[in-house]
Amino acid sequence: MSQKFSLLNFLGRPFSPIYSTVMKGREALYRKGIKKSHSLGVPVISVGNLTMGGTGKTPLVAHIASKLLAKGFKPAIISRGYGGAAGNKVNIVSDGNEVFLDAKTAGDEPCFLAHSLPGVHVYTGIVRILPSRFAAEKAGCNVLILDDGFQHLAVKRDLDLVLFSAASLAGNSRVFPGGDLREPISALKRSSAFVITGITEELRERSSKFKEILLQRFPDIPVFFASYEARQAQLLTDMSSCALPTLPSPLFAFCGIGQPQLFQKTLTALDSDICGFMPLRDHQAFTPSLLKKINAKAKKSGAQALITTEKDLVKIRKEHFTLPVFSLQMEVHPEQNFTDFLNMQINGFKP
């Protein structure tokens, strides 16, 4: 964690109990039926997290959507569309056949998912019950995936997956603004399963200890591991794919994700020759001036090309670069017992 955020967390500690009480009260209102949680008549899978920042939700959402599609379902991904300018109650990013909105309008993650998942509907909306209802009732989708849906209690769900990053786990275990948690730890009792993502040999022992803690606190909720694997790279100019060993070298890396250091570590683990790294804030908007600045830094560093994440690539226009720009395509690899668990849940759904 940066010194800036450590200081903010320290200053925010006195307010954490207040925020925690508010979130507990909100949960109680839904539990008692004072605030309504709506059933949409189709299975709903939520993929979310308790912590602030990235936990690798997007690759797992894509993995689940692909699995549902392969089993004959007509899935829809529902997202808030964070960072996108679209202001309609329901924004159709993709109808499964065509992508209608760009990243600036839809948000980077929905746009990336829409482009990478032909056949899957993608909708956004700040009040997520509205695009959820549209997908189920108007578009004929027969299973919904709520992207970052753990705190969105207005939609009932059949499967509630909560993710933790192996790199940060539960952070400092304090509730915002004194820590990294969106809700108190007690909220995890709503979960169907926990998935610790980004498992590496370096992080496995620490993650195993955290798994034991979760099982002690929530013995009826299974805990699974998932790792990520770099598959190949994609070139911005024509979206063609290339094998990682054929990438130009050295590379200048940049990204705007929740945990940019994980992208840097992934590149290091691939033995990439990185001559510069520029971390940006999560969901960073890429203005022409920023893109020119990135290009200038890359040239100054002696880079032969630039590399970024998949969700950043969908926000970039090639005319701002004089060097080739690639994205690193990542694939999630859950352990077999999670695959068995997910298949068992999906087999209970009716396409």
pLDDT for 83-140, tens place per residue?
Answer: 888 989 999 999 999 999 999 999 999 999 999 999 999 999 999 999 999 999 999 9
Q: Report which residue type is found at 32.
A: K
Q: What is the Cα–Cα distance from 54 to 56, expressed in whole angstroms?
A: 6
Which among 141, 150, 195 has a CA at the least distance from the CA of 349? 141
Separation of CA 125 from chain center: 16
Q: Give residue 1's pLDDT band: very low, low, confident or very high (50, 70, 90).
A: very low
Provide the token pair at 235: 């070139």
Helices (H), 193-283: 201-217, 260-269
Q: Which of 3-12, 134-143, 172-181, 254-263 has the highest mean pLDDT?
A: 134-143
Residue-range domains of the chain with CATH: 3-227+333-347 (3.40.50.300), 229-332 (3.40.50)
